[in-house]
């Protein structure tokens, strides 16, 4: 069997951006990985955890921990959910009998772009038309995972993509889970500023790697009649680099078929040992300066 | 505590509607952030320095009781009288007693956030003592009968024209001008006379050194030195957490504080006060008093995690970088300490039942955590306070723990748990949402709040679970 990874879709991707999830899976499959998507998965537990409902969060997180028994990397197309699992599961399970299992899972969690760049070193070939896009950096990817340059490094590989930076790329969009509905006026002011920042770039697409931000900024853009399309970066990357034939080929064939897709030679075997070194491309939390 | 304490949302909403507030704060905060970033340009140096700062503060707090005892002994040996105050009322009474003993009816004040906690000006005014702020920002705020909107820049909510108008109206004999130097000159003339007339000077304390009994006070206007040296009596006010162990602990903390607060490598004045005027000395106060205030801090100290709150060196950088503070300004918090540090400090001091809104008024973006020079895990403490506000935790040191319980929210999370802890229940919910979720939903509750600024989220026709199954993605 080729090297396997788990994919943790997250509840927002599952219900609102499933094509972004599929695109993430296809991007991994193209690198020769076998992607396993446990159908029992639901939500990482972050909404309740952040609101102070730890017991409820733990019950839901516990159900997730049980779904990833093999020592494979767990790839998450969301900085926020990845941060919940990597940074907060050990704390959430402190003093619980299943702490070892939760901590072991935490140590295997990778945000998608971090994994694509830092572990797989993917090489992308742009097949799309020239386009101008902008990028919103999500707070938790930036500050809890230390994922800063990886998404932009992926976009930089696409020859026909012009990335115009937001004036305040690192400023929160105002989502914040229940914050958006507990303080709709403040959150609304934050997202209005973000949408104006997006509009000022002249981009036709707003890319992000967190669906909470996309729901928020996208909802504001739509409400204000903007034509800017909000999209998860995985969907954008896959659409522009997928083979022209359309339907994805089986993973095994894909690995060898796409020129330049496997940086380390021969597809599946290139990815080596069972668990990619955890921490690659993930500096210590809270590091860095604006 | 003010009348509007429990209604942050209302006051924040009012502030958002004031374009002047948003413009003033945005411009000021942008400038402060840029100046700070330029001085911490080397990430390695920044990380090393803040780790050192955090360690110094954590070590000081770990030995807080001993250090406070040591500080008292050294201060007394230096001729500084030490007064302990558990409550604001005790601290106010201590200050008034000192003033009465000297028959002082006029005092000048350097900047002190502890005195704001004490509402000292009001207290002294009610007892026949005129207390005049000598820090320019504090002076402006006092002149307009306001409170500070920022802990470092109290009048940051005002722009030049607003200050010009205020001075024109309130300063006797003043001619309206928008010239900054002329405005500063007006305040200076008033204050110079007051320094000479004052029976006592009051100040805050940035750090108090236990090993030497030294009070460290930094400032840019010279008013701090005037307040502490010109009047015959100096009364310094500090919270119990401001003590550090050694004199050598101070330079790294000052390097962090000056750069984080105002984007300066060093402030114009660094005052090290180690006692009253000595024999043969030509200046300095005849008496120096140190009032050490608890006001809920020792309760925070008891909890190892919450204790990090007390590491704060009051630089205000968390405010400057906060996307919420930047938009609503400091007054919306109706608290002495606004912004992220206020969101964790105020509920701990005043109680989580009274102030349960504040810990929730954050998107948990972590911008404050990223720039805090002493690495206070603000977002973690926010979540902890959210938890203990709504859940009675045995042995909790949080004031009013469990008293902000909302049965509706309890039910909502219990339901959320039932749906998400069971794959089957989740599948059913997901089916319902993806099949019916595109129908127009009644705009009630959270959806109504959401759609005030945004379109309603529309579930996809089929979930990722379904797509993965259909496209042959392996399950388990």
CA distances from A164 to A92, A123, A131, A161, A229 (A): 39, 21, 11, 10, 15
Exposed, middle or buried: residue B151 (CB in 10 Å: 0-12, 13-18, 19+)?
buried
* Same domain, residue pair A73 and A98: yes
CB B117 within 8 A of CB B88: yes
In a domain, A216, yes or no: yes
* Same domain, residue pair A154 and A225: yes
Domain extent, residue B163, equals 65-295
Residue A56 to residue B417, Cβ atoms within 8 A = yes
Exposed, middle or buried: residue A44 (CB in 10 Å: 0-12, 13-18, 19+)?
buried
Q: Order of strands, edge to edge, in the sheet holding B287-293?
A: B80-85, B287-293, B233-239, B200-203, B106-109, B130-133
* Same domain, residue pair B416 and B398: no
* Same domain, residue pair A92 and A135: no
Tell me, what's the pLDDT at A261? 36
What chain A residue is nearest to B404 in terms of C-alpha separation?
A52
Residues B164, B267, B368, A168, CA torsion sign: positive
* Same domain, residue pair A14 and A75: yes
* Same domain, residue pair B283 and B356: no
Among B295, B318, B336, give the residue marking a domain's end. Answer: B295
Residues of A (60-119) whose Cβ lies below 8 Å from B: 60, 62-63, 67
Residue A11 to residue B420, Cβ atoms within 8 A = yes
Exposed, middle or buried: residue A108 (CB in 10 Å: 0-12, 13-18, 19+)?
buried
Which residues of chain A make contact with B463, given a CB cutoff of 8 A? 14-15, 18
CA distances from A279 to A139, A149, B104, B145 (A): 19, 15, 63, 54
Residue A39 to residue B421, Cβ atoms within 8 A = no
Q: Which residue in the set A43, A139, A191 is minimally distant from B420, CB to CB?
A: A43
In a domain, A272, yes or no: no
Residue A139 to residue B362, Cβ atoms within 8 A = no
Tell me, what's the pLDDT at B395? 87
CB count in 10 Å sphere of residue B128: 10
Helix ranges, B304-406 (H): 317-320, 325-328, 339-350, 357-360, 367-371, 378-390
* Same domain, residue pair A97 and A141: no
* Same domain, residue pair B154 and B272: yes
Exposed, middle or buried: residue B461 (CB in 10 Å: 0-12, 13-18, 19+)?
exposed
What chain B residue is nearest to A220 in terms of C-alpha separation?
B454
Tell me, what's the pLDDT at A257? 35
Residue A67 to residue B324, Cβ atoms within 8 A = no
Which residues of chain B make contact with A45, given a CB cutoff of 8 A? 420
In a domain, B34, yes or no: yes
CB B108 within 8 A of CB B201: yes
* Same domain, residue pair B24 and B151: no
Distance CA B266, CA A212 (A): 41
pTM score: 0.92
CB B351 within 8 A of CB B300: no
A81 to chain B, minimum CA–CA distance in Å? 13
* Same domain, residue pair A102 and A151: no
* Same domain, residue pair B233 and B381: no
Note the pLDDT tens digit of each residue in B47-74: 999 999 999 999 999 999 999 999 999 9
CB B312 within 8 A of CB B300: no
Residue B370 to residue A45, Cβ atoms within 8 A = no
In a domain, A279, yes or no: no
Which residues of chain B make contact with A216, given a CB cutoff of 8 A? 454
Among B295, B330, B351, give the residue marking a domain's end. Answer: B295
Residue A184 to residue B386, Cβ atoms within 8 A = no
Token pair in block for residue A239: 């659409």
Residue A179 to residue B426, Cβ atoms within 8 A = no
Coil, strand, or helix at residue B272? Answer: strand
* Same domain, residue pair B199 and B343: no
Tell me, what's the pLDDT at B476? 84
* Same domain, residue pair B440 and B462: yes
Exposed, middle or buried: residue B439 (CB in 10 Å: 0-12, 13-18, 19+)?
exposed
In a domain, A287, yes or no: no
Which residues of chain B make contact with A286, given a CB cutoff of 8 A? 366, 369-370, 375
B34 to chain A, minimum CA–CA distance in Å? 9
Q: Which residue in the set B327, B390, B426 is minimally distant from A190, CB to CB?
A: B327
Tell me, what's the pLDDT at A260? 34
Residue A185 to residue B12, Cβ atoms within 8 A = yes
In a domain, B290, yes or no: yes
In a domain, B475, yes or no: no
* Same domain, residue pair A49 and A66: yes
Give me the DSSP letters along B394-428: TT--STTTTTT--HHHHHHHHHHHHHHS-HHHHHH
List the single best residue of A40, A64, A189 to mutate versus B (max B Cβ within 10 A): A189
Q: Quick one: three-class SS letters along B186-228?
A: HHHHHHHHHHHHCCEEEECCCEEECCCCEEEEEECCCHHHHHH
Per the structure, how many domains does chain A have? 2
ipTM of the complex: 0.94
In a domain, B44, yes or no: no
* Same domain, residue pair B4 and B35: yes
Domain extent, residue A103, equals 4-120+247-265
Tens place of pLDDT per residue across chain B (476 aa): 343 445 899 999 999 999 988 889 999 999 999 999 999 999 999 999 999 999 999 999 999 999 999 999 999 999 999 999 999 999 999 999 999 999 999 999 999 999 999 999 999 999 999 999 999 999 999 999 999 999 999 999 999 999 999 999 999 888 899 999 999 999 999 999 999 999 999 999 999 999 999 999 999 999 999 999 999 999 999 999 999 999 999 999 999 999 999 999 999 999 999 999 999 999 999 999 999 999 999 999 999 999 999 999 999 999 999 999 999 999 999 999 999 999 999 999 999 999 999 999 999 999 999 999 999 999 999 999 999 999 988 888 899 999 999 999 999 999 999 999 999 999 999 999 999 877 777 778 889 999 999 999 999 999 999 999 999 999 98
* Same domain, residue pair B214 and B318: no
Q: Which residue in the set A56, A188, A191 is minimally distant from B413, CB to CB?
A: A56
Among B295, B323, B353, give the residue marking a domain's end. Answer: B295
* Same domain, residue pair A47 and A12: yes
DSSP character at residue B240: G
* Same domain, residue pair A136 and A227: yes
* Same domain, residue pair A114 and A151: no
In a domain, B122, yes or no: yes
Residues A270, A276, A277, A278, CA torsion sign: positive
Tell me, what's the pLDDT at A158? 98
Residue of A146, A182, A252, A21 whose CA lies nearest to B466: A21
Token pair in block for residue B141: 């705020």
Which residues of chain A make contact with B454, given a CB cutoff of 8 A? 188, 191, 215-216, 218-220, 222-223
In a domain, A277, yes or no: no
Contacts 24+ apart (CB under 8 A), B118-122: B118/B88, B118/B91, B118/B92, B118/B237, B118/B293, B119/B88, B120/B92, B120/B95, B120/B202, B120/B237
Which portions of chain A are predicted below pLDDT 70? 1, 245-290
* Same domain, residue pair B255 and B168: yes
In a domain, A280, yes or no: no
* Same domain, residue pair A151 and A97: no
In a domain, B158, yes or no: yes
List the single best residue of B13, B36, B54, B363 to mutate versus A (max A Cβ within 10 A): B363
Tell me, what's the pLDDT at B6? 53
Note the pLDDT tens digit of each residue in A195-224: 999 999 999 999 999 999 999 999 999 999
* Same domain, residue pair A74 and A114: yes
B41 to chain A, minimum CA–CA distance in Å? 8
Which residues of chain A make contact with B474, given a CB cutoff of 8 A? 34-37
Token pair in block for residue A240: 């522009």
Per the structure, how many domains does chain B have? 3
* Same domain, residue pair B143 and B221: yes
CATH label of the domain that carries residue B105 = 3.40.50.10420
* Same domain, residue pair B371 and B423: no
CB pairs under 8 A between A and B: 238
CA B365 to chain centre: 18
B293 to chain A, minimum CA–CA distance in Å? 31
Which residues of chain A make contact with B411, given a CB cutoff of 8 A? none
């Amino acid at each position: 069997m080729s090297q396997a990874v788990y994919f943790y879709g997250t509840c927002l991707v599952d219900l609102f951006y499933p094509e972004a999830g599929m695109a993430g899976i296809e991007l991994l499959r193209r690198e020769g990985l076998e992607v396993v998507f446990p159908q029992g998965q639901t939500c990482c537990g972050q909404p309740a955890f952040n609101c102070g409902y730890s017991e409820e969060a733990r019950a839901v997180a516990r159900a997730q921990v049980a779904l990833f028994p093999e020592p494979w990397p767990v790839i998450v197309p969301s900085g926020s959910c990845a941060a919940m699992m990597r940074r907060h599961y050990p704390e959430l399970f402190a003093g619980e009998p299943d702490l070892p299992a939760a901590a072991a899972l935490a140590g295997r969690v990778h945000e998608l772009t971090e994994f694509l760049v830092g572990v797989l070193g993917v090489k992308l070939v742009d097949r799309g038309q020239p386009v101008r896009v902008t990028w919103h950096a999500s707070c938790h990817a930036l500050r809890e995972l230390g994922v800063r340059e990886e998404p932009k490094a992926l976009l930089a590989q696409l020859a026909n993509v012009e990335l115009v930076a937001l004036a305040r790329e690192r400023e929160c969009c105002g989502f914040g889970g229940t914050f958006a509905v507990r303080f709709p006026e403040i959150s609304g002011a934050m997202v209005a500023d973000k949408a104006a920042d997006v509009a000022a770039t002249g981009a036709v697409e707003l890319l992000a790697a967190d669906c909470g931000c996309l729901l928020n900024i996208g909802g504001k853009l739509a409400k204000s009649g903007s034509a800017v399309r909000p999209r998860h970066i995985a969907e954008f990357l896959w659409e522009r680099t997928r083979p022209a034939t359309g339907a994805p080929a089986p993973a095994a064939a894909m690995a060898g078929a796409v020129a330049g897709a496997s940086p380390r030679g021969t597809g599946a075997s290139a990815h080596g040992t069972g668990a990619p070194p955890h921490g690659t491309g993930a500096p210590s939390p809270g590091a860095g300066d604006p | 505590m003010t009348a509007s304490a429990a209604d942050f949302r209302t006051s924040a909403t009012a502030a958002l509607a004031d374009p002047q507030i948003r413009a003033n704060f945005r411009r000021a905060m942008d400038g402060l952030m840029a100046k700070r970033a330029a001085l911490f340009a080397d990430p390695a140096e920044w990380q090393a320095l803040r780790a050192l700062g955090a360690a110094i503060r954590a070590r000081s707090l770990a030995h807080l009781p001993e250090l406070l005892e040591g500080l008292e002994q050294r201060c007394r040996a230096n001729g500084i009288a030490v007064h302990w105050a558990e409550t604001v009322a005790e601290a106010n009474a201590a200050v008034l007693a000192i003033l009465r003993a000297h028959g002082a009816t006029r005092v000048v004040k350097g900047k002190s956030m502890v005195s704001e906690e004490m509402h000292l000006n009001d207290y002294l005014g009610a007892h026949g003592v005129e207390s005049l702020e000598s820090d320019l920002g504090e002076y402006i705020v006092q002149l307009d009968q306001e409170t500070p909107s920022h802990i470092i820049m109290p009048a940051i909510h005002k722009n030049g024209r607003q200050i010009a108008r205020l001075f024109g109206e309130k300063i006797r004999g003043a001619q309206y001008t928008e010239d900054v130097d002329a405005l500063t000159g007006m305040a200076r003339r008033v204050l110079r006379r007051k320094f000479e007339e004052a029976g006592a000077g009051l100040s805050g304390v940035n750090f108090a050194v236990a090993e030497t009994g030294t009070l460290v006070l930094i400032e840019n206007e010279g008013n701090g030195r005037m307040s502490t040296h010109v009047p015959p009596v100096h009364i310094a006010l500090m919270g119990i957490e401001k003590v550090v162990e050694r004199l050598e602990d101070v330079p790294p903390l000052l390097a962090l504080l000056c750069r984080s607060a105002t984007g300066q490598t060093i402030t114009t004045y660094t005052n090290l006060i180690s006692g009253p005027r000595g024999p043969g000395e030509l200046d300095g106060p005849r008496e120096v008093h140190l009032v050490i205030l608890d006001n809920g801090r020792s309760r925070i100290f008891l909890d190892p995690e919450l204790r990090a709150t007390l590491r704060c060196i009051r630089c205000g950088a968390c405010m400057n970088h906060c996307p919420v503070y930047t938009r609503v300004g400091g007054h919306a918090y109706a608290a002495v300490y606004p912004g992220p540090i206020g969101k964790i400090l105020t509920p701990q001091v005043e109680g989580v039942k009274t102030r349960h809104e504040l810990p929730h008024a954050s998107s948990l973006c972590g911008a404050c955590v990223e720039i805090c020079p002493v690495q206070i895990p603000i977002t973690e403490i926010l979540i902890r306070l959210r938890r203990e506000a709504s859940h009675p935790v045995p042995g909790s040191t949080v004031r009013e723990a469990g008293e902000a319980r909302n049965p509706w929210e309890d039910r909502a999370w219990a339901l959320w748990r039932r749906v998400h802890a069971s794959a089957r229940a989740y599948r059913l919910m997901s089916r319902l949402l993806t099949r019916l979720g595109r129908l127009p939903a009644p705009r009630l509750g959270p959806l109504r709040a959401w759609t005030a600024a945004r379109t309603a989220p529309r579930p996809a026709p089929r979930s990722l679970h379904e797509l993965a199954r259909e496209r042959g993605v392996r399950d388990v």
